[in-house]
Amino acid sequence: MVTHFVADTATLTGRSMKHVTRSPDTIITTAVMPIAIMLLFVYVLGGAIDTGPEAGSSSYIDYMLPGVLLITVAMGISYTAYRLFTDMQGGILDRFNSMPIARPSALWAHVLTSLAANLISVVIVVGIALLMGFRTGAGVRGWLAVAGILVLFILALTWVAVIAGLSAKSAEGASVFSYPLIFLPFISSAFVPTESMPGPVRWFADRQPVTSIVNTIRDLFAQRSVDADIWIALAWCVGIAVVAYAFAMVAYQRKIA
């Protein structure tokens, strides 16, 4: 049963990846906005932003890159919802379900494609950040830890995107859900310390998932102790992934029933 599921998922993932490779503009589009944000904040606004002692002597791009990476992922998952909605409307999933394949494999194929496409976009953004002056003393373990957190974050948001793709009534509705997720890093510690925010805004910023994830990635890049932030970040990522997966499977069962 497991072998059957893995084989079916691999086959369908290959099909889904072909759409991405034949249309690389989706990855490029996903990376363009975060790169534009980096250019704006570093070269226009960065000189006027005080990140406090937390930033130390590092440049502003070192401080804000973790938040930009999360924005990159939030933008990328909108395409997952769109592709899934298109498959639903085109009857492709119905055809798959009429074949002797593991039913969840159709969803997992979209999820794994999202993971691969988003990681490519993240690599592009990191590459541009390096050209802009981003530097880190993190070793292999630090980079692997950052990659692991980003993978969990991508999986968590992708399952949220699956729910949107299955529930949307239009192609626009399938992708517009990501807009609040894109703006969430702006109300966090991604670009300025939360200490500079008004009371109610700071309360929200300190308790929303992006802040703990950003702080963890920033500390890993800076080779600082991650303290409790890493456990809070992992709890958020795993919790969102589990809950979203459960709701996505319920929505999928209703669609194919």
> pLDDT tens digit string along 12-24?
787 777 777 776 6
Per-residue confidence (pLDDT) for residue 97, from 0 to 100: 63
Q: 77 with 178: CB under 8 angstroms?
A: yes
pLDDT higher than threshold 60 for residue 3: yes
| This model's pTM is above 0.85 | yes
Q: Which sign, positive or negative, has the C-alpha torsion 133, 136, 139, 143?
A: negative
Q: How many domains does the chain have?
A: 1
Q: Supply the mean pLDDT for the chain.
A: 84
**98-107, 189-198, 235-244, range with greatest mean pLDDT:** 235-244
Give me the DSSP letters along 55-117.
GTTS-HHHHHHHHHHHHHHHHHHHHHHHHHHHHHHTTHHHHHHTSSS-THHHHHHHHHHHHHH
- Segment 198-222 shows an average pLDDT of 93
Per-residue confidence (pLDDT) for residue 123, from 0 to 100: 94
Q: CA–CA separation, 252 vs 103, rounded Å?
A: 9
- Residue 175's domain comprises 2-256
More confident residue, 25 or 54: 25
More confident residue, 199 or 29: 199
Q: CA–CA separation, 239 vs 108, rounded Å?
A: 18
- DSSP designation for 91: T
